[in-house]
Structure 1
């Protein structure tokens, strides 16, 4: 079943409402059947048939046979790509960290020999797939493993307390699942002792990675946060499918999310743009999403705009409250992304927010509806994999007439 873990509340949020999207979206909600579990896959007629065991490993390797009958096609993500070479894939990450140089990883299907690596691939980390012992440095990875039915492969996480999804919380509570960065600093000794097949980074460098790599544990970069397209981030489902051998399931699941997102965006495409004041001040600085940023793309697709929409910055624009007030003080809607759940909390942190029209009118919202007692916010976990849910909330905020009785997944109104 596609994305079985969201509650009916969340699925309703993604669909907005029957009145909004009608029969077309209702049809889209039908879930395709799970891929076959047969251990025999078709190869080319000249190569004959090749068999896989129950673990997805090749049992009678034959050179020249294509062992990837289903190949992922990357259509939105820009910061990773996959190429196929019979019994192995090459995963390329153009920016493993912001401004970093490209890195390549060789993913070899178990039961096949490691290929001779030359040229740009000489010395590239080699990962045997399907992976059965994976360490994850970011909570954004976790919903993808759930959707791919590969959560059993998760044997280590950075910080357990930041995890939001109940299914993942239950998994990391099991014996043997390691926490390797409880204080925010990666413990290389803990990782090495755990002997995972691969450690997936959060797109930032850490001195521990060199130590871990030197110990023979592949460290694979995942800088999903550098993707500016919400569907590009969601497409990292296929990144994890390459590691877990679940390409068919990933293709079906992503197609569903993509279709839902596009249909929700289409519902607001002809609506009048609503001005938004995005974010909030933090320690004297107000970070505004640039016009080509991930956050601004969501606002635009929801039928909104900001005073910075024409700025081509892909990240955040540092500003101050006075400048933001001058440029966006009359915007009728505020979209915050912090811990506030009430207007009183917001004004206690920054009394001058009372000068903004959105706070005066009570139309200030915050992505803090689904937060754990330990501080894990599902907006930054499930929201990455499900931009259709986020977009559904934003359309309901900016154009409530398009989404009557919308049940919010991530946003709450600061009452």
Structure 2
């Protein structure tokens, strides 16, 4: 009798242990590794995916995936979807007129994509009437009250601020999020790896063969202030990888520098190249807007470049869309600008030289 009781007890313990083991396995969390992106994380169990980004957390039951309907507030989200051939899930866009991708204008015209708002407001009635599974937004405080209302009505919002990443390859890695959510995981992983390998290859050519004889000035005046990146920001990272010897590479911080013209001129008068000037088609326009621009050596030699080679009539710029997922294209452009002999067959894609 005692022997039977012992055996029964052992059997019960074994069965309980097996159940607990299976339950542990079911709830085991695995993290998606991001090599370069610092502002996001993905945790995954057998039944769910949790994304932490921009101080917010959103969890998806895997039974909800892949996402079938989505609305977006950022052009970058459109870029990620398009790269994964998932634009068929896109049902609404904010600020559609400022999107470069021509597929969006076509969708708006055909009414397969709805206009859901702008930087100042969201059309909540339109969104709630069509009730997408997901809205992809940036952490814009102006729209916080709209987001709160939508979440209270059961709509999930994923906040993505890829522009805060300090490494251009970090922005590319956001594709992994879209891959997880839209059933394109393998495609996303392959794209990230392809871009990384090409970026590293271009960087290696520049770093090993570029003579390092150039120096770079960036941006222009905005009102009375000249905003310039610190060495920690993405723009400066691209210049560094292109061996451009950025003039403010001794300044650190996560916010742009706010400088006077005199401060920039003191450091940048003799810079050999000037990149990322905006809203100008030629040097004459640039000089007319601010005559002192002509004092810089780079202006005098004509080594002035804008990233507006792919800009439509409404001012939407593909540099801020496709450039997010193709930093290898940007780096190739900068390599051509700084060291043209290293890339004799490359034609500028995002950049153009002002004449």
Q: TM-score range by the shorter chain?
A: 0.7 to 0.9
Please, which of 267, 284, 306 is the counterpart of residue 224 of structure 2?
A: 284
Whether 1:272 aligns to 2:232 is no
Whether 1:181 aligns to 2:117 is yes
Please, which of 53, 61, 64 is the counterpart of residue 108 of structure 1?
A: 61
Match of 1:80 in 2: 40
Report the number of matched residues.
Answer: 331
Match of 2:334 in 1: 394
Whether 1:377 aligns to 2:313 is no
8 Å Cα contact 1:294-1:314 kept in structure 2 = no
- 2:215 is paired with a residue whose SS is strand
- 1:272 is paired with a residue whose SS is coil
Q: How does 1:340-359 map to 2 (within 5 A)?
A: 340-359=280-299
8 Å Cα contact 2:32-2:43 kept in structure 1 = no
Whether 1:193 aligns to 2:129 is yes
Q: CA deviation at 1:410?
A: 0.6
Q: Kindly tell me: are residues 327 and 180 of structure 1, through their superposed partners in 2, closer, same or farther at Cα, counting changes over 3 Å?
A: same
8 Å Cα contact 1:80-1:92 kept in structure 2 = yes
8 Å Cα contact 1:157-1:179 kept in structure 2 = yes
Q: Kindly tell me: are residues 149 and 329 of structure 1, through their superposed partners in 2, closer, same or farther at Cα, counting changes over 3 Å?
A: same
Please, which of 257, 265, 276 is the counterpart of residue 336 of structure 1?
A: 276
Higher share of residues assigned helix: 2
Match of 2:247 in 1: 307
Match of 2:5 in 1: none
Q: CA deviation at 1:107?
A: 1.5
Counterpart CA distance in 2 for 1:180 and 1:242 is: 25
Q: CA deviation at 1:190?
A: 2.7
Q: Kindly tell me: are residues 337 and 218 of structure 1, through their superposed partners in 2, closer, same or farther at Cα, counting changes over 3 Å?
A: farther
- 1:83 is paired with a residue whose SS is strand
Runs of 5+ unmatched residues, structure 1? 1-45, 47-61, 97-101, 111-127
Please, which of 58, 73, 77 is the counterpart of residue 137 of structure 1?
A: 73
Counterpart CA distance in 2 for 1:230 and 1:155 is: 28
Deviations 1:267-291 (A, max 9, x none): 1113233211100001111001111
8 Å Cα contact 1:91-1:106 kept in structure 2 = yes
Q: TM-score, normalised by structure 1?
A: 0.75
- 2:110 is paired with a residue whose SS is coil
Q: Which runs of 4+ in 1 moved over 4 A?
A: 62-67
Q: TM-score, normalised by structure 2?
A: 0.88
- 2:333 is paired with a residue whose SS is helix
Q: Kindly tell me: are residues 183 and 254 of structure 1, through their superposed partners in 2, closer, same or farther at Cα, counting changes over 3 Å?
A: closer
Please, which of 117, 134, 156 is the counterpart of residue 92 of structure 2?
A: 156
Q: Kindly tell me: are residues 299 and 257 of structure 1, through their superposed partners in 2, closer, same or farther at Cα, counting changes over 3 Å?
A: same
Please, which of 129, 139, 153 is the counterpart of residue 203 of structure 1?
A: 139
Match of 2:83 in 1: 147
- 1:308 is paired with a residue whose SS is coil
8 Å Cα contact 1:203-1:225 kept in structure 2 = no
8 Å Cα contact 1:64-1:86 kept in structure 2 = no
Find the structure with the greater CA-based Rg.
2
Q: CA deviation at 1:172?
A: 4.1
Counterpart CA distance in 2 for 1:398 and 1:91 is: 39
Q: How does 1:251-270 map to 2 (within 5 A)?
A: 251-270=189-208
